[in-house]
A = this chain, B = another copy of it.
């Protein structure tokens, strides 16, 4: 594999890491894998501050992973759901989780 071919393989791996990195993105995505929720519900479920949740949801919207729907009720209801594109993350999250468990056992065993 030459270096150009190699970079073209690394680019999407880094893209994916960029989208998923940080403390809250994956917990928010995993919460929304269990259903659609309102802001306050997510805030309680994930245990993240409202300010951070708002920031993270905006970024996830930008990456087309979360859809925000405003319902014309009184008071207005805002609901968040995963897009189809986010559904394809399940495999990635599983692979990370599997390896992370293995890694945890390995590192613990040495201590």
Contacts and interface: CB of A to CB of B under 8 A. Distances in A.
Contact of A14 (B3, B26, B91): B26
Interface in A75-109: 85, 88-89, 91-104, 106-107
B23 A103 contact: no
A63 to B, nearest CB: 7
Number of copies of this chain in the oligomer? 2
Contacts of A6: 30-31
A73 B67 CA distance: 60
A70 interface: no
B103 A16 contact: yes
Contact of A9 (B89, B97, B103): B97
Contacts of A23: 14
B15 A104 contact: yes
